[in-house]
Structures are given as structure tokens and as C-alpha cells.
């Protein structure tokens, strides 16, 4: 790229002014508040920070968040790839509707998602709840309900990463594989999957970050029972409200760290994707 000619550039004060504005905006809104969380978490030293996690309630909450995240991400991974293939490679009635429905979780508040699941699955007067409870399956106030809520809110993330890549690569390679004797599963594993793997990885990382941080929907369906159905985000809220601010900041720091780690992984992976 040739350097932009001076005549086409904005004058120096404008350029520096714009840069200052953007940097200031990001610092005030994102960087500084997040940094303060870490500062408070470590204000009494690393020992005090680690002490927070010896509390069985806190460690249980973090373990529960991890469990829910693993299940929610696995489910979203499998269904996300299947739905993406359906949306891009097949024609069927109601395809547009399905495509719109997939974006619903992006626009609906998670609290509404929680309430909606409550209406369908609660054990007293939900649509399925009583019959499921009779069969010994409890959804609401237990892990399955929380996984469902998390799957719901993170649903579009894998799909919205994979669909454009599938559209871009087209189906030429898949057709070539078919004409060379590969059946459907062989074509998927050998041709389609390698072509979309970075999109899947990116979608999964986003889904992990989203699942770790889910609060509203999980709060409604979990019942927020300490030591039982309380996730990490819920415990941050409770510790904060109980004036146990140091514990709140410590758990918050762990959540923030995990999410940042996800973004770092993505930042490292992105250039590889462009090379491929």
C-alpha cells in the first residue's frame, strides 16, 4: 500500500483528536473499569485472592459454571453445525423462518428467556414440567434447566460464524468429493469440516465466553440456591450484595480472565484462518 498523499489526509489536530477520542472512550468504558476489578481482587494480595476460592460455596459455583458451560457449548457445537448445514446446503419450507428464529436469542433479554423456559418446564403448572417431574426429571431449579437457558442465549454464535463460511466455500468441493465416490458422511468429515474448522473454533470460543457470563436467564431458572444451583455470576452478585466485596471482585476477576483468555485464543487463531 502506498502512503496516503498528504493532501488527502485530515490535518494533524483532527487526526490526533479522533485518536484521543476513541482511546479515551474505550479506556473509560472498558479498560479502566475492568482493570479496577482486578485491582480490587488483588488488593489484599494473591493469598487473600486465593482464599476466596477455598470457600466451598464459591468453588461449587465456579465448578457449576464450568459444567454448564461445557454442556451448553457441546450442544451448541453439534446443533450449530447441523443447523448451519441445513440453512446453507438444503432447501426446505420454513427455512427463512428458522433463520429468523435463530437470531431471536440475540434480541430477546435473557431474563425473558428464563421466564419462558420457566413457563414450559416448571414442575407445578408448566407445559411439560409436571409430566417430566413425574418421570423423575427435574429441569427447573437444577442443572438441565440452567444448561438449556445457556444453550438458548448462546445458540446463534456458532451458527453465525459457520454459515457465512459455508456460503463462501460453496458446494463445488463437496460435489467433487461425491463424484469421486465419497458418501455423505465421508464428504462431511473429509471436505466440509476441514474447510469450516476455524469458523467452528471461533464460534465455540465466543459461545464459551457467552456461556461463562450468562446471568439473567440462569438466575430465573436456577432458583439461585447457594451451594446447589448457584453459578459463578450469581455468586458474584450475592457476595456483592452481602457486602463481601472482596470475594465478589475475586470471582469477577476469574470470570473476566477466562473470557479474556478466549479472546486471546481467537486473536491467535485468526491469522491462521486467513492463511488457510
Interface residues with other proteins (CB under 8 A)? Answer: 169, 172-173, 175-183, 186, 190-191, 194-195, 276
Nearest CB to other proteins, comparing residues 48 and 85: 85
Find the shortest distance in angstroms from Cβ 91 to other proteins.
Answer: 12
Find the shortest distance in angstroms from Cβ 172 to other proteins.
Answer: 4
Find the shortest distance in angstroms from Cβ 101 to other proteins.
Answer: 27
Residue indicated by cell numbers 453459578: 231
Nearest CB to other proteins, comparing residues 109 and 175: 175
Find the shortest distance in angstroms from Cβ 204 to other proteins.
Answer: 19
Nearest CB to other proteins, comparing residues 193 and 261: 193
Choose among 175, 196, 198: nearest CA to 187.
175
Please tell me the distance from the alpha carbon of residue 258 to that of residue 233, in angstroms, as a whole number: 13
Q: Maximum CA pair distance of the chain?
A: 77
> Where does 8-85 show beta strands of DSSP type E?
none
Note whether 218 and 150 are within 8 A (CB): yes
Choose among 37, 78, 265: nearest CA to 162.
78
Burial of 11: CB neighbours in 10 Å, binned 0-12, 13-18, 19+: exposed
Note whether 165 and 84 are within 8 A (CB): no
Nearest CB to other proteins, comparing residues 125 and 183: 183
Find the shortest distance in angstroms from Cβ 82 to other proteins.
Answer: 21
Nearest CB to other proteins, comparing residues 109 and 186: 186
Nearest CB to other proteins, comparing residues 33 and 194: 194
- Residue 140: DSSP 8-state: T
Distance of CA 22 to the CA centre of its chain: 26
Find the shortest distance in angstroms from Cβ 155 to other proteins.
Answer: 28
Amino acid at each position: 500500500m502506498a502512503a496516503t498523499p498528504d493532501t488527502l489526509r485530515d490535518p494533524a489536530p483532527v487526526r490526533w483528536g479522533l485518536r484521543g477520542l476513541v482511546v479515551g472512550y474505550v479506556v473509560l468504558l472498558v479498560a479502566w473499569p475492568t482493570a479496577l476489578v482486578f485491582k480490587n481482587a488483588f488488593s489484599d494480595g494473591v493469598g487473600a485472592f486465593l482464599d476466596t476460592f477455598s470457600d466451598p460455596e464459591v468453588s461449587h459455583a465456579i465448578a457449576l459454571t464450568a459444567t454448564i458451560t461445557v454442556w451448553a457449548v457441546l450442544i451448541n457445537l453439534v446443533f450449530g453445525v447441523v443447523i448451519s448445514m441445513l440453512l446453507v446446503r438444503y432447501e426446505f419450507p420454513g427455512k427463512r423462518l428458522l433463520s429468523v428464529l435463530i437470531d431471536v436469542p440475540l434480541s430477546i433479554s435473557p431474563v425473558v428467556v428464563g421466564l419462558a423456559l420457566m413457563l414450559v418446564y416448571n414442575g407445578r403448572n408448566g407445559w411439560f414440567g409436571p409430566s417430566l417431574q413425574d418421570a423423575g426429571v427435574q429441569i427447573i431449579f437444577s442443572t438441565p434447566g440452567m444448561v438449556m437457558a445457556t444453550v438458548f442465549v448462546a445458540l446463534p454464535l456458532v451458527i453465525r460464524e459457520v454459515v457465512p463460511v459455508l456460503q463462501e466455500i460453496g458446494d463445488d468441493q463437496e460435489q467433487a468429493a461425491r463424484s469421486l465416490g465419497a458418501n455423505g458422511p465421508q464428504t462431511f468429515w473429509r471436505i466440509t469440516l476441514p474447510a469450516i474448522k476455524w469458523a467452528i473454533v471461533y464460534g465455540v470460543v465466543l459461545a464459551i465466553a457467552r456461556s461463562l457470563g450468562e446471568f439473567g436467564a440462569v438466575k430465573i431458572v436456577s432458583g439461585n440456591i447457594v451451594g446447589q444451583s448457584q453459578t459463578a455470576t450469581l455468586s458474584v452478585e450475592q457476595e456483592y450484595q452481602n457486602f463481601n466485596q472482596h470475594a465478589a471482585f475475586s470471582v469477577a476477576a476469574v470470570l473476566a480472565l477466562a473470557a479474556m483468555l478466549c479472546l486471546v485464543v481467537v486473536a491467535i487463531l485468526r491469522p491462521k484462518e486467513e492463511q488457510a
